[in-house]
Amino acid sequence: MSGKRVLIIDDEKNMRHMLQVMLDKAGYVSEAAADGIEGLSLMEKQDFDFILCDLKMPKMDGMAFLEKARAKYPGKTIIMMSAYGTFDTALEAMKIGAYDYISKPFKADEVLLTLKKVEERERLKEENLRLQDRLKKIEQRYSFGNIVARSEAMANVFDLVNKVADHKTTVLITGDSGTGKELIAKAIHSSGPRASIPMVSINCGGIPENLLESELFGYKKGAFTDAVKDKPGLFEQADKGTIFLDEIGELPLSLQVKLLRVLQEEEITPLGAIKSRKIDVRVIAATAKDLKREVEKGGFREDLFYRIDVMTIHLPPLRERRGDIPLLIGYFIDIFNKKLNKDVEGLSSEAMPILMGYSWPGNIRELENVLERSILLAKGRWITPSDLPFSINSDQAFPASVDPEHTLSIKKATSHLEHNLIQKALELTGGNRSKASKILEISRPILISKIKKYNL
């Protein structure tokens, strides 16, 4: 039994009665109105799933009703009926927003079939919305803005981002160059209460030491020869917001003392100023260096290290989260298809193992550059090994366990790599296939099939 509510609008009493009997017998709950005005009045009082409406009626005809109903109830499904209609009238009704059109006289089965079609459409719409909702939840777990990942390592990173976003806690993001440290900093900022103010960023290793202090803390007019007017520094610009100090390991020791004071006292003193001023800034720092080792070597102040190392988020290199590579490839293909006006669908079966087996010393940034170049060179809809850079496609790209003198075959080299990776994973887990499949980021059945394939 359907239980769906149907409104019948027709000026013929017999037609209304016949349709109500037929629909009630089929399990629908029906109400009837003699014209469009009465129909709109019923719609204000009750909620109907579907409306069957005659085209030619007194007071307010079907087309006038359709226009008003669509304007007031845009989501409603309206099916028009008429013995007077022509094909052109049907098209006009569909253009205004009718779902379908039934010509009188009609058989009972025709009306019921049309309603069943509508129900199926509604079911698919609801299913699609549920699917979109599920995908949105998955995306929220495995992505922040432009960061895409599905590996467990990155899921842990996203979890930490969620935990620190709402607080002023100083965050230190560590990881190799090209792993996306600034994207994580932006994710922390944009997910927190300071998101309404733009995040201010500076690369501490990209500005000469003699200019870096004035960039960070600003200066007063007359502080030095070219200081013809006051200039606010980046900390002042970030007041009530967030400052991102990229490559903080490159910060000169002389400025590390001043940065420590800013973090401890929450105040800055511009060059040439007599008084300091209070600021409210959330600090996120990033480095590709091992700061503990830098402290031991005397290249980084120990007190500053402990001041910024309140919450550390480490980004693993791409070689340690190979499961993210296919996802990132799809993401970059979409971006560069639009940018380069191309229509590349993906990587060929020969090209994908090459990218999966490569060590990616330049991490995500290197992968991004490789994909842009490959899409630009691709002649067809698939990226082939010939479209990849020589540095990745050459023998040097093979891991040390593959001897290039014995094979120049990508297929053989990939199989050799796969064999070795599976063997190492099994050794690490003491032969535990479930744990090995997690390390390799493949399913257990696929691992078992490959164990058989390589006779391991």
Q: What is the pLDDT of residues 174-214, one digit of tens each?
A: 999 989 899 899 989 988 999 999 899 999 988 888 889 88
Q: How far is CA 74 from CA 66, 71, 94, 96, 117, in A?
A: 10, 6, 14, 11, 19
Tell me the pLDDT tens digit for each residue of 84-112.
666 677 778 888 888 888 888 888 888 89
Of 269, 261, 286, residue with least CA distance to 170: 286
Percent of the chain with pLDDT over 70: 90
- Quickly list H helices, 266-362: 291-297, 302-308, 325-340, 351-357
pLDDT reported for residue 203: 92
Question: Which pLDDT score, from 0 to 100, does residue 152 have?
Answer: 79
pLDDT at 402: 45
Q: What is the CATH number of domain 320-453?
A: 1.10.8.60
pLDDT mean over 12-21: 91
Q: Side chain identity at 78, as an amino acid letter?
A: I
pLDDT digits (tens, 9 = 90+) for 115-149: 988 888 888 878 777 766 655 554 444 445 556 67
- Of residues 135 and 355, the one with the higher pLDDT is 355
| pLDDT score, position 419 | 80
Tokens encoding 372: 């842009």
Task: Give me 346's structure tokens.
Answer: 């993906």
- Alpha-carbon Rg for the chain, nearest whole angstrom, is 33
| Stretch among 51-55, 138-142, 296-300 having the lowest mean pLDDT | 138-142
The 10s digit of each residue's pLDDT in 427-436 is: 777 788 888 8
Per the CB < 8 A criterion, the answer to whether 299 and 291 are in contact is no
CATH topology of domain 147-316: Rossmann fold (3.40.50)
With beta carbons less than 8 A apart as the criterion, state whether 208 and 164 touch: no
Question: Bigger pLDDT: 406 or 450?
Answer: 450
Position 133 scores a pLDDT of 66
Using the predicted structure, report yes or no on whether residue 396 has a pLDDT greater than 50.
no
Question: What confidence category does residue 404 fall into, taking pLDDT thresholds of 50, 70 and 90?
Answer: very low
**Mean pLDDT of all residues in 311-329:** 89
| Sheet containing strand 200-203, strands side by side | 200-203, 242-246, 282-287, 171-175, 311-315
Q: Which of 177-191, 384-398, 438-452 has the highest mean pLDDT?
A: 177-191
Assign a CATH topology to domain 5-128: Rossmann fold (3.40.50)
147-316 and 320-453 agree in CATH topology: no
Measuring CA to CA, how many Å separate 243 from each of 113, 185, 413?
Answer: 63, 9, 46
Which two tokens mark 37? 């005005």
What's the token pair of residue 165? 């976003």
Q: Is the pLDDT of residue 386 over 70?
A: yes
pLDDT-based confidence at residue 397 (cuts at 50, 70, 90): very low
Instruction: With beta carbons less than 8 A apart as the criterion, state whether 225 and 272 touch.
Output: no
Q: Which amino acid is at 285?
A: A
Region of poorest pLDDT, from 275-284, 355-364, 388-397: 388-397
Indicate the domain borders of the chain.
5-128, 147-316, 320-453
Q: 45-54, 124-133, 201-210, 246-255: lowest mean pLDDT where?
A: 124-133
Kindly report the average pLDDT of the chain as a whole number: 85
What average pLDDT does the segment 55-68 reach? 88
pTM above 0.75, yes or no: no
